């Protein structure tokens, strides 16, 4: 496990190329694998999570080859997957496990899929129950991975999900591709809609709006090429860093700005962050823009309700921003953070207290009073990539050195994060 020493930075300046959006990359691989024909994917994320999706698909008989600037998924149709001779390993990727489960539920064979120690602690009842209602047979211990999935002929269902989760919604929609009739899912609030947009790109019969999606099956997807935009969840760390460090300017072209993902921009704008947007285009139904962040004086904000699913991955770095805002910031309705790679409410609060921030934990979030000068400290990432990256940014602001323990986990979502960070420093 690699530890990193983060030294304070004077400023950050430059233009950076972000990795491909992780969420879109997973979906591009999975939908291409059951399409009819070859699909070329450019801009695919090279994160470990996405590599695990690719490995699982290859273990199921999907042919994936590499070209100069793209990879080619040789889709051979909805029923082309073959039984794997081994247990599928999703690693740390909840997206891999949950989305693939939707497809495995419809296969004419049995598959066991699992993940690392962290993933085996995450809740799977949320996908097991709807898949069993559709006709799949799933064995598990206490509704946790590993899952043993016996595929079956599936039937369409109307399902009201108790949680707003793109992974749950996507799992059900992918299973719905194989079910006769219209499968509908409703959510308590809107979650990211990359799966719906990509299914539309693959010509599926799908309708969706905020909090609802329905798909008509069975349906054979048509092959299409996919261009993956830069990952806005990766951009979030640099958006905050550029705002907080004096005399900074960070330019990020081709960032995905899907409205279900731009909560980070809305949250930072509500904090008076000077973020500039330009060069808006749409490819494969996914909008993208150039983002420029500059130094600014942040104001406090209140984050709760419908924005939370749109910022759920960015709350750790928003908490860092809040420590420097002029007043009290409240984050509520974020209980889902407790079942991520770590309990991100507790890990953020504990680590920021080590850095002498004025923060307190509440049941479903945190309250942060600022501005508070941060002090260098020894930070435990708990093997959580977003905690490691958020506190690496915090270390740039702190007085003295900050030691972030176990930063290998950053490879899960953002290989090259520390190289990009170093390229922006001009101390």
* Domain shared by 176 and 106, yes or no: yes
Do 65 and 140 fall within a single domain? yes
Looking at the fold, whether 212 and 253 belong to one and the same domain comes out as no
Q: What's the pLDDT at 427?
A: 79
Choosing from 177, 192, 227, the residue where a domain stops is 227
Q: Are residues 125 and 15 in the same domain?
A: no
Whether residue 290 sits in one domain with residue 215? no
Q: Which of 212, 227, 242 marks a domain boundary?
A: 227
Considering the domain architecture, whether residues 204 and 258 belong to the same structural domain is answered as no
Distances from the Cα of 365 to the Cα of 117, 216, 313, angstroms: 25, 38, 13
- CA distance linking residue 321 with residue 303, whole number of Å: 13
**Are both 16 and 26 inside the same structural domain?**
no
Residue that terminates a domain, selected from 204, 227, 250: 227
Indicate if 41 and 164 belong to the same structural domain: yes
Question: What integer pLDDT is reported at residue 1 of this predicted model?
Answer: 76
Same domain, 122 and 265: no
Q: In angstroms, rounded to a whole number, what is the distance separating the alpha carbons of residues 214 and 417? A: 37
* pLDDT, mean of each 10-residue run, the chain (427 residues): 94 97 98 98 97 98 95 96 96 97 98 97 97 98 97 97 96 98 96 97 96 97 98 98 97 98 97 97 98 97 94 97 98 95 96 98 97 97 96 98 96 95 92
Q: Catalytic residue positions?
A: 313
The CATH number for 212's domain is 3.65.10.10
How many other β-carbons are positioned within 10 Å of the β-carbon of residue 362?
13
Taking the whole predicted model, whether its pTM rises above 0.85 is answered as yes
Domains in the chain, number: 2
Residues 38 and 156 in one domain: yes
Do 295 and 418 lie in a common domain?
yes
In this structure, the answer to whether residues 150 and 11 fall within a common structural domain is no
The answer to whether the CB of 53 falls within 8 A of the CB of 45 is no
Per-residue pLDDT, 85? 87
CB 334 within 8 A of CB 364: yes
**Which structural domain, as residue segments, surrounds residue 184?**
22-227
Q: Is 242 exposed, middle or buried (0-12, 13-18, 19+ CB in 10 A)?
A: buried
Instruction: Find all residues with CB under 8 Å of 263, minimum gap 6, and list them.
Output: 307, 308, 309, 310, 311, 314
Q: Which residue, among 352, 339, 427, has the nearest Cα to 391 in the 3D structure?
A: 352
């Amino acid at each position: 496990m690699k530890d990193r020493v983060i030294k304070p930075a004077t400023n950050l300046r430059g233009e950076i190329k972000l990795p491909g959006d992780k969420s879109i990359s997973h979906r591009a691989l999975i939908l291409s694998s059951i399409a009819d024909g070859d699909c070329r994917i450019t801009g695919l994320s090279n994160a470990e999570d996405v590599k695990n999706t690719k490995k699982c698909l290859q273990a199921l008989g999907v042919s994936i080859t590499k070209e100069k600037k793209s990879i080619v998924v040789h889709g051979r149709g909805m029923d082309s997957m073959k039984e794997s001779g081994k247990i599928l390993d999703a690693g740390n990727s909840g997206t891999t496990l949950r989305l693939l489960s939707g497809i495995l539920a419809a296969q004419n064979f049995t598959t066991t899929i699992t993940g690392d120690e962290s993933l085996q602690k995450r809740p799977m009842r949320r996908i097991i129950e709807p898949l069993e209602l559709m006709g799949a047979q799933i064995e598990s211990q206490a509704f946790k991975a590993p899952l043993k999935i016996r595929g079956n002929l599936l039937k369409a269902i109307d399902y009201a999900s108790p949680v707003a989760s793109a992974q749950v919604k996507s799992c059900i929609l992918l299973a719905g591709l194989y079910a006769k009739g219209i499968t509908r899912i409703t959510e308590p609030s809107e979650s990211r809609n990359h799966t719906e947009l990509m299914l539309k790109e693959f010509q599926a019969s799908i309708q969706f709006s905020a909090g609802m999606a329905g798909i008509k099956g069975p349906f054979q997807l048509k092959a299409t090429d996919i261009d993956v935009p830069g990952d806005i969840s990766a951009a979030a760390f640099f958006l905050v860093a550029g705002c907080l460090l004096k005399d900074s300017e960070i330019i990020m072209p081709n960032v995905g700005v899907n409205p279900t993902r731009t909560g980070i921009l809305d949250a930072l704008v509500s904090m008076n962050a000077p973020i500039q947007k330009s060069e808006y285009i749409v490819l494969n139904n996914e909008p993208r823009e150039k983002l420029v962040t500059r130094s600014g004086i942040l104001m406090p904000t209140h984050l709760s309700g419908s924005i939370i699913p749109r910022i759920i991955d960015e709350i750790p770095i928003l908490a860092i921003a809040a420590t420097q805002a002029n007043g009290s910031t409240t984050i509520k309705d974020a209980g889902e953070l407790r079942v991520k790679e770590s309990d991100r409410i507790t890990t953020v609060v504990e680590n920021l207290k080590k850095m002498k921030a004025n923060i307190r934990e509440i049941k479903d979030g945190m309250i942060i009073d600022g501005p508070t000068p941060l002090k260098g400290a020894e930070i435990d990432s708990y093997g959580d990539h977003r905690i490691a990256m958020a506190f690496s940014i915090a270390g740039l602001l702190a007085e003295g050195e900050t030691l972030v323990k176990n930063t290998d986990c950053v490879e899960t979502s953002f290989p090259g994060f520390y190289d990009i960070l170093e390229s922006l420093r001009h101390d």
